[in-house]
Each structure stands twice: as C-alpha cells, then as structure tokens.
Amino acid sequence: MKAFIFDLDGTLLDTLEDIGRACNAVLASHGHPAHPLAAYRRMVGNGFGRLVRSALPPAALRDLAPEALDALVDEARLWYGQHMRERTRPYDGMPEALAELARRGLTLAVLSNKPDDLTRTLVSHYFPQIPFADVRGGRSGTPLKPDPAAPRAMLAKLGLEAGQCFYVGDSDVDMLTARNAGMVSVGVAWGFRGLEEVRAAGARHLVTTPAQLPELI
C-alpha cells in the first residue's frame, strides 16, 4: 500500500461540538428548537446543505422557499466558519499516527464532504507539521461522497491506483466511498457513527485507536 486518504469530521478531528453549536445558534435565531449535540452525530457527513436540512423541523423545511433555505445554509456556514476552532480537537493519538505514516513514506491526503475552504483551513490549523499531499473538501460542480468522482480526481492528481490506497473514515458514507472508488476501506471506532455502522457498511479493516493505522501496512 502506498497511501492513506482520510475523511475529516469524526476521523481526524472531533468537530461535533462546533458543528452542533453553529446549527443550534442559527436554528434559535429563526425560532426553531435546538438539538442535543449528540443528535448531530447522525446528521453530519453528507455536506453542509444536507446538515442544515436535517437540523430543521420537517414543517419548517417544507415551508421554506428554496432561496430562503439557501440563505439559511449560508448563515449557518458563516457562523460555523467563525467559530469552528473553538471546541474542535484532533482525536487522541492522531497527530502521532499521521507523523509515523509520513515517516514511513506513505502518501497522506484528506477527502471530506465539508466545504473545501473550511476543510483546508482546519487541516492546516490542526496538522501544520503533517505533509499532506492533497486536501480536498466539497466543491461546486463535483458530487459529494460516496460518489467516486472526487476520490478519482484525487487519485489521478496524486498518480495513485485506487487499490494502493486506504480510505479511512467513521461512517457508512466513507465505506461506500472507498468501495465505489476501488480503495481499501478502513472503519474507525472513535468517530461519530461507531464501529457497528462501519462494520455493517463493509469495512475491510477496523481500527479502535489511531495507533493501529501504521499496523495496516
């Protein structure tokens, strides 16, 4: 194997509290009830637009005009962008595991459904010493995971064959992404969704701590 490509939220970083606080702040400002932070574990992972739609009460979502919904998504994205480094942190042992993989000569990259600019900002802030070969979030005109378009574009840019790469993530979306693109899936136990979800989604490998990642080589 030549490379590890990582999901971001729930895999490299515990971003749940900042995401939940952003959505709840916008919900409250429009008179909608907030959610417990733990509820956002099931809402994240499919892009920011889907996140906001999932957080809205069904009746409010049904009644909103498309342009009003787009404005609400933009508002939540702005709030999150201003506060996304307040409670977020790398998972214990992740910086050390990434450094070890880099020391062994593995190509490292990040592929997320989070908006591209936010993905890049978080990765550069929390992992400044890690030599990621590419960092890519959700981009206009490219389908989000689990569609294979984005991972295939990344593989082409890096000059890698899919079968040479692990794709590491915490959700069924991530396991489907790996399968659809032909990469080897690695499900993590520490993320938002838990071991049972990634196992049921067909993870080829399961890890319970970041320290186990170098052992997969």
**pLDDT tens readout for residues 172-188:** 999 999 999 999 999 99
Does the pLDDT at position 149 exceed 90? yes
**DSSP code string of 57-126:** -HHHHHHS-HHHHHHHHHHHHHHHHHHTTSS-EEPTTHHHHHHHHHHTT-EEEEEEEEEHHHHHHHHHHH
Residues of each domain in the chain carrying CATH 3.40.50.1000: 3-14+89-216
Main-chain phi, psi angles of 33, to 5 degrees? -70, 145
Does residue 23 contact residue 35 with C-beta atoms inside 8 Å? yes
**Tokens 């070890």 sit on residue:** 100
pLDDT per residue as tens digits for the range 25-51: 999 999 999 999 999 999 998 888 899
Q: Is 201 in contact with 34 (CB distance < 8 Å)?
A: no
The pLDDT tens digits of the residues spanning 137-148 come to 999 999 999 999
Distances (CA, A) of 66 to 76, 135, 196: 15, 31, 36
Q: What is the mean pLDDT of residues 109-121?
A: 97
Beta strand pairing call for 134-138 and 107-115: parallel
Question: Minimal CA–CA distance to 123: which of 206, 213, 205, 5?
Answer: 5
Q: Which CATH number, 3.10.129.10, 3.40.50.1000, 3.30.1300.10, 3.40.50.300, labels domain 3-14+89-216?
A: 3.40.50.1000
pLDDT for 183 equals: 98
**Global confidence as pTM:** 0.95
Which residues form the catalytic set?
7
pLDDT above 70 coverage of the chain, percent: 100
Tell me, what's the pLDDT at 46? 87
CATH hierarchy code of domain 16-83: 1.10.150
Task: Give start-end residues of each CATH 1.10.150 domain in the chain.
Answer: 16-83
Identity (one letter) of the amino acid at 205? H
**In whole numbers, what is the pLDDT of the chain averaged over residues?**
96
